[in-house]
A and B are shown apart, each in its own frame.
Chain A
Amino acid sequence: MSVIFILIIAGLIIALGFLIAFIWAVKSGQFDDRETPAMRILFDDSIRHHNKNNKSEKS
């Protein structure tokens, strides 16, 4: 019977992980525009984010 304690706690932790992932996704703006990404995926070459990595350079 006591295994149910572990299971419930483990289940909740996993669900909590998904909740945190959802909140992160909303905050990072993934739900702001739900139309354009669907079009973007059809374009052939995707070097669009070529600059997002070196944002730290400051002159």
Chain B
Amino acid sequence: MNPDQTAGTQKTCFHCGETITTPAIRNAEKYFCCNGCRQVYLLLNESNLYSYYDLNPTPGKTNPGQAEKAGFAYLDDPAVIDRLTLHNEGTLATVIFKIPSIHCSSCVYVLEKLYKLDPGIRSSDVDFLRKELSFEYDTSRTQLRKIVTLLASIGYEPQIDLTNSKNTIHQTSRQDLYIKLGIAGFAFGNIMLLSLPEYLAIRDKVDPLLQTLFRVLSLLLALPVLLVSARGYFKGALTGLRQGLINIDFPVSLGILSLFGRSVYEIISGSGSGYLDSFVALVFLLLLGKLFQDKSYATLSFERDYRSYFPVSVIKKTAAGEVNISLSKLKTGDRILIRNGEIIPADAILIRSNTQIDYSFVTGESAPVEKSAGDLLYAGGRQVGGAIEVDVVKPVSQSYLTQLWNKDLYRKHQKSPLLSLTDRISRNFTAGLVLIAIAAAGYWASQDLPRAVNAFTAVLIVACPCALALSAPFTLGTAMRVFGNNHFYLKNMNVVEALDKIDTVIFDKTGTLTYSGKSAVKFRPIAGQMELTRTEKKRIRSLVRHSGHPLSQSLYRWLGEGQLLKVTNYREVPGQGIEGFVADHQLKLGSAGFTGVSQKAGPGSSVWFSQDGICRGYFRLDNEYRPGLGKTLARLSRNYALALLSGDNDRERESLLQYFPAGELHFNQSPFEKLSFIRQRQKSGAKVLMVGDGLNDAGSLKQSNVGVSVSEDKNAFSPACDGILSAGEFSKLPDFLLLAKDAGRIIRLSFLISFLYNGIGIGFAVTGNLSPLISAVLMPVSSISVVAFSTLATRYAGRRRGLPI
């Protein structure tokens, strides 16, 4: 077999755009990196979907190909189908899937033309931002399993999550806000027009009948604003009161109600035209602020638990043979089959064949652990090696790791004493406001009773904390946007406020401070042997390419690029190593015993290498720290107490000590120990930011005041957290924290501005003479200037911290 690659020309795959390293597969004029890509091309071409390639060059993202037919067998289960189906109408069923690989318009094109690939699909729709595909299919003409297999075969494997498949809540709340905003905006514009005679002080020249009409119309227009648009504020204030606290909604509601009530009174009694224009303007602006603060990342999930990491189905061994069952049906005592690269779904005992389990994502330990028959395997580990058989000893929900979620361990956020700054200020603000209003009314009461009532309501109206309510959403919302543009995604705005108060930063090691799946490799020849030659490296690289073992993959990456050689008689011995013939040389890679030496390589991961029976030496694989780690941590240590909690052993203590001068290094920490460490810190008053990545950090991420998960791919699994930081931006962490501090300062400043306006307004109001014009000018001006200040100041702060928006 000759590799048909001409030297010098780098070919890229027509489907996925990857550089072709293996012998290219040709089809007419086009080259493909693998058979999977070619299959997709042929299928799309046959179905007249060639535009897929016209819209974007090389739209395929990942290597499709091996869609395992058996892997989706659980989709034949009626209970599973029912779970996934949104609604059923005769033989028509609607299903929504999340498909993470949706990334360009070609994806939209091909996914909305699914009916050409499977006539049983009636229609399909893509929501690009949410990366969702919804489709309607005819259950009598096709099956869900067939559709999913089809999707997977063209490279769009859906992420099937049986736990929360029916979520449409977000959408409706958004619609609700739009409608409220629409009504308020409509009334705002029209009432302003109708109030024009009042503004121009041409009241006397206007026909009295016309004036009455204007006032009545304004009242009619304002009514739906009170009943529909402003409803949320009354509800919020009531819930707050029921919990015994006064939140920002309370003074807002107070202002809204006194504005409306006094306007109605003036219009009905004919004594004036009221402040309906200010009323609707206020509601409109407040709702705009809500729209701004509602921005969230629909495609990201911050609430994932172990169930989105574990497989959806497992292969169960029964007397009748192998059957695919969904994970929820797995019981204690079941014997299941786990193949290479699959995740162990429940605590189980290994029955057949030795293996290695990669727990790096669960415990933070970087090297795979060797297990032999009879050993207990904890759920969450990834099996590396041949297929194994295990007996389940604990149900999925009670396995060691999953307990982290089920236990009532965390009493965070909800009803914690950590009130937002706005709510804390608004409590004092409301008290002060009511006091001033009563004082003003008391002062006038003895001389002029109507004036006293006027003064009382005027204070409540003019001091309505519109600007106060807007400054936090706009500042935090802008900060969140700046973070998002720099690949730091927060769950909601409150996280920015919590970040401002952080004083302790705790890191996980593996995958957080180090690269996951990338190692610093060094070759150490044993006595009497030379360094590796280039041809030897090429041979090793060809051999390790065939193995899915994490160490093999690290070696493969380290050995660089270039052409690969043919490997014959390849064999993988689980827990031992790999061997095979490359260019007539017998190569062995693996443990010391496997390659025929009795020597020890010292602590850490090492891979021994022998060629034609002669041991040449070993590869040392050390964790590689993220670039600029020292500088990042040094910057952080100026303002924060730093600590490290690692599930790994302490062989890197020395090299880590330079980064953590305070010496807060804790190794061999179990997930539970990590959690209790953080809790202890919090008890002594610390506000903790936890930066972690794996499942083993899930507990500590939840317990900490702010839990940030570092992720190489933001759509990949990350445990429940408050924020997801793209791994490439790790060095910007100090800047993010600085900006959060700036945001806190900006909010306090804009509070000051808003108090200034309130002071001026109250100055007018206490006299009892609040003209509608002053109110109509003062309220929007104060709101708009606060909004402008907080938005612009946050943007400026972001730019100053090197975080462009």
Contacts and interface: CB of A to CB of B under 8 A. Distances in A.
Contacts of A33: 127-130
Contacts of B213: 5, 8
B179 interface: yes
A27 to B, nearest CB: 7
B127 A36 contact: yes
Interface string B130-155: 10000010001000000000000000
A31 B109 contact: no
Contacts of A39: 105, 108-109, 128
B128 A36 contact: yes
Interface string A1-44: 10011001000100110110011001101011111100110111
Interface residues of B, number: 34
Given A39-B128, A43-B51, A51-B122, A58 B210 contact: no
B217 A8 contact: yes
Interface stretch (B170-178, B334-342, B663-671): B170-178
Interface string B16-55: 0000000000000000000000000000000000010001
Contact of A32 (B55, B123, B174): B174
Given A19-B182, A23-B182, A4 B51 contact: no
Interface in A42-57: 42-44, 48-52, 55, 57
Contacts of A57: 90
A55 B174 CA distance: 27
Nearest to A40: B108
A58 B90 contact: yes
Nearest to B221: A12
B286 to A, nearest CB: 19
B252 interface: no
Contacts of B127: 32-33, 35-36
B183 interface: yes
A52 B125 CA distance: 12
Contacts of B189: 15
A7 B189 CA distance: 16
A26 B182 contact: yes
A12 B213 CA distance: 13
B288 to A, nearest CB: 15
B126 interface: yes
Interface in B79-96: 89-91
B128 A35 contact: yes
Contacts of B55: 42-43
B112 interface: yes
Contact size range, A = 20 to 34
Contacts of A58: 89-90
B509 to A, nearest CB: 39
A34 B136 CA distance: 21
Nearest to B213: A5
Nearest to A34: B129
Contacts of A27: 175, 179
B190 interface: yes
A43 B182 contact: no
Contact of A26 (B140, B175, B190): B175
Nearest to B168: A32
B186 interface: yes
Interface in B202-220: 207, 210, 213, 217
Contacts of B183: 19, 23
A26 B130 contact: no
Contact of B129 (A22, A29, A35): A35
Contacts of B123: 48-52
Contacts of A18: 186
B207 A1 contact: yes
Nearest to B171: A32
A36 B126 contact: yes
Contacts of A5: 210, 213
A15 B193 CA distance: 13
A55 B213 CA distance: 48
B511 to A, nearest CB: 32
A36 B207 contact: no
Contact of B190 (A12, A36, A42, A51): A12
Contacts of A34: 129
A16 B221 CA distance: 10
B112 A19 contact: no
Contact of A15 (B140, B171, B174, B190): B190
Interface of B: 51, 55, 89-91, 105, 108-109, 112, 122-123, 125-130, 136, 140, 171, 174-175, 178-179, 182-183, 186, 189-190, 194, 207, 210, 213, 217
9 contacts: A12-B190, A33-B128, A34-B129, A36-B108, A39-B109, A42-B105, A43-B112, A48-B123, A49-B123
| 3 cross-chain pairs, A with B, having the tightest CB-CB distances, nearest first | A39-B105, A36-B128, A58-B90
Given A32-B127, A57-B90, A59-B140, 20 more contacts: A1-B207, A1-B210, A4-B210, A8-B217, A12-B190, A15-B189, A22-B182, A23-B179, A23-B183, A29-B175, A32-B174, A33-B129, A33-B130, A35-B127, A35-B128, A36-B125, A36-B128, A43-B109, A48-B123, A51-B136
Interface of A: 1, 4-5, 8, 12, 15-16, 18-19, 22-23, 26-27, 29, 31-36, 39-40, 42-44, 48-52, 55, 57-59
